[in-house]
């Protein structure tokens, strides 16, 4: 630990945020999870962004999915929502001004509250070379994009000071595959698989290939099948979260949510990203303290 890191305030506790990548609200509800709701009521909230990287940037600013409140100034909502971290962190003296000027939650946790900070990511766009890797003691990209259990088994807690963990897991991200399913059986959609590896194949004269060049991409039955796969992926993560709960020290606060939603053919959209649609921002939000 850096010698300049302060002692944590009395009562400060471990805090874990589990991000179900791309998990939209109604898929979570349809999965009828039994274990995650042990933390608290299941809420519908709204992400600040519709793609993984900008959404995680917001999350690390302390901007958890919002409730879309009416008749309130945005600045007042930000302050009041941030003060919920008093409960999450067990730090009753926490103030909004402490987040300034960095506007970066891991920096506040390290430099003012003495936390160990950790981020374990499943999506390659969250790799350690990105600007997100700031004020973290440990920042790792997993070998697999869809295995939350491999993340849980790397987590370490210490007696001398509390820890913060952001966990990004991709079972609920396309192709909505759980680690027990052979990769050969994963669905394949033209224009989606390997997009980062084969980006040049999707560019012609600087213009993206139009979707009509991928026939059958928005077949209704196919879209319904993919949504069912996401629902089953939520059920898988819900069953596996007992492993996380078992390893967490007593009195740890846990937030389970998603970085954004997902489209399954509604209004001609699939996936997430450059999409303005409520299904791409509606996300589940559950949190509470393990005792």
Q: How many domains does the chain have?
A: 1
Question: What confidence score (pLDDT) does residue 190 get?
Answer: 61
In terms of DSSP bridges, do strands 203-204 and 43-46 run parallel, antiparallel, or are they unpaired? unpaired
Does 201 map to a domain? yes
- Token pair for 143: 């070998």
- Token pair for 142: 């997993």
**Percentage of the chain exceeding pLDDT 90:** 83
The CATH number covering residue 57 comes to 3.40.720
pLDDT bin (cut points 50, 70, 90) of residue 115 is very high
Rounded CA separation 34/227 (Å): 20
DSSP structural state of residue 210: P
Question: What confidence score (pLDDT) does residue 2 get?
Answer: 62
Per-residue pLDDT of 128-184, as tens digits, reads: 999 999 999 999 999 999 999 999 999 999 999 999 999 999 999 999 999 999 999
Does 8 map to a domain? no
Question: What confidence score (pLDDT) does residue 290 get?
Answer: 82
Cα 262 → chain centroid: 13
Does 101 map to a domain? yes
Which domain, by its residues, includes 205? 15-289
Does 9 map to a domain? no
Does 79 map to a domain? yes
Does 179 map to a domain? yes
Q: Do 173 and 125 touch, CB atoms closer than 8 A?
A: no
Does 155 map to a domain? yes
> Bridge-partner residues for 253, per DSSP?
15, 289
**Residue 226 host element (H or E):** helix 220-247
Helices (H) and strands (E) in the chain, counts: 7, 11
Q: Do 129 and 52 touch, CB atoms closer than 8 A?
A: no
Does 2 map to a domain? no
> What's the rounded mean pLDDT across residues 119-123?
97
Given a cut of 70, whether residue 205 has pLDDT beyond it is no
Tokens 């396309």 belong to 174
Backbone phi, psi, residue 98, to 5°: -70, -20
pLDDT bin (cut points 50, 70, 90) of residue 227 is very high
Per-residue pLDDT of 155-169, as tens digits, reads: 999 999 999 999 999
> What's the rounded mean pLDDT across residues 60-68?
97
């Amino acid at each position: 630990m850096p010698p300049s890191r302060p002692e944590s305030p009395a009562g400060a506790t471990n805090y874990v945020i589990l991000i179900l990548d791309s998990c939209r609200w109604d898929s979570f509800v349809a999965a009828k999870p039994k274990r995650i709701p042990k933390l608290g009521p299941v809420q519908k909230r709204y992400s600040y962004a519709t793609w993984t990287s900008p959404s995680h940037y917001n999350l690390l600013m302390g901007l958890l999915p919002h409730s879309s409140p009416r008749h309130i100034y945005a600045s007042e909502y930000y302050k009041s929502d941030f003060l919920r971290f008093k409960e999450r962190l067990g730090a009753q003296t926490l103030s909004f001004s402490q987040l300034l000027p960095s506007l970066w939650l891991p920096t506040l946790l390290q430099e003012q509250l003495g936390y160990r900070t950790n981020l374990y990511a499943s999506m390659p766009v969250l790799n350690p070379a990105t600007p997100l890797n700031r004020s973290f003691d440990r920042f790792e990209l997993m070998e697999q994009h869809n295995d939350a259990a491999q993340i849980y088994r790397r987590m370490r807690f210490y007696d001398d000071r509390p820890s913060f963990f952001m966990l990004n897991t991709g079972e609920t991200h396309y192709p909505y595959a759980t680690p027990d399913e052979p990769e050969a059986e994963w669905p394949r959609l033209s224009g989606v698989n390997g997009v980062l590896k084969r980006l040049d194949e999707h560019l012609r004269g600087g213009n993206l290939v139009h979707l009509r060049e991928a026939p059958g991409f928005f077949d209704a039955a196919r879209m319904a099948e993919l949504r069912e796969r996401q629902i089953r992926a939520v059920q898988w993560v819900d069953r596996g979260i007992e492993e996380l709960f078992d390893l967490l020290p007593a009195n740890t606060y846990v937030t389970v949510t998603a970085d954004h939603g997902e489209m399954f053919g509604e209004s001609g959209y699939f996936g997430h990203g450059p999409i303005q649609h409520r299904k791409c921002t509606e996300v589940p939000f559950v949190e509470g303290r393990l005792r």
